[in-house]
Structure 1
Amino acid sequence: MKKAIIAIGSLKNRPEKALFDAFYKRLTPPPLIHEIVPKGHATSSQEADLMMTFVQPDDHVISLDEKGATLTTRGFKDYLNQREGSTRRCVFLIGGADGLDEKIKQRANFSLAFGAMTWPHLLVRVLLIEQLYRCQQIDSGHPYHRD
């Protein structure tokens, strides 16, 4: 299944970039990345409009939101594996500092949280890419993930 990450903000020259890149380069195939850097201070509605330009009508959209469902890593892997073989692309949407606009939440097929705490949006990208890598390693039988 093809995957894409559409995110507000840029990791360019940020400390999070090295961590993100370490896991990104290990994924086979790696997800397509769309970094959106709005001009000036954009509202969450304006950010949503920019994000939606990269979302196709048949995409399976997963929003990353603190109010989303919390899954174990194996639960996340199972959720993704249920979509394997689908022609639909799995698209992860990560908002900016103000979170995701309601129109993104309404478009999402699923909303995922990395726990009850609020995470910086740039760090959420690192958490997501690591979990995608971890799911890949579980599926391949690699001992990276230990239960």
Structure 2
Amino acid sequence: MPIQTADVLVDTKNLRNSMVDVVLNVAEARTKLPFARGPMLSRSVLDAARFPSIHFVSTAVSLGPGGRISDGATVTGDLTVRDVTRPITLDAALYRPPGSAKDDLDRLFIHLTGALNRNDFGATGYADLVDETVGLNIRTEIRRKP
């Protein structure tokens, strides 16, 4: 799903104060299986016509070993799908491009992984074809504002 808006703050002085606020554009979602797009956006699953976005806002960042986000960290937040908001915790990794200088934070990559039960959000359609647990694998790049 393409990002509609994103506000990401990486507080390099206190990583626990970092935050994420992202809105995804449901109507523009794509799948690797073109025939699955229609059912995914249908009324019984994401209902893109009535709920055109998915919203995630972080509420806490837990650092991994050594006080870092690069290994073993989690991001907890509120996820809103189909106008239903539930807490979710995602495994997080934040890292620089390979070969970049240690203090070069102009371009960073974020990798978030986790899972949700789609039934918790009312996305119950096609139960015979789609598991109730949906894995999340989010990779994105962020750049420092000039």
Same fold (TM over 0.5): no
Higher helix residue share: 1
Q: TM-score, normalization: structure 2? A: 0.29
Higher relative contact order (CA 8 A, sep 6+): 1
Higher strand residue share: 2
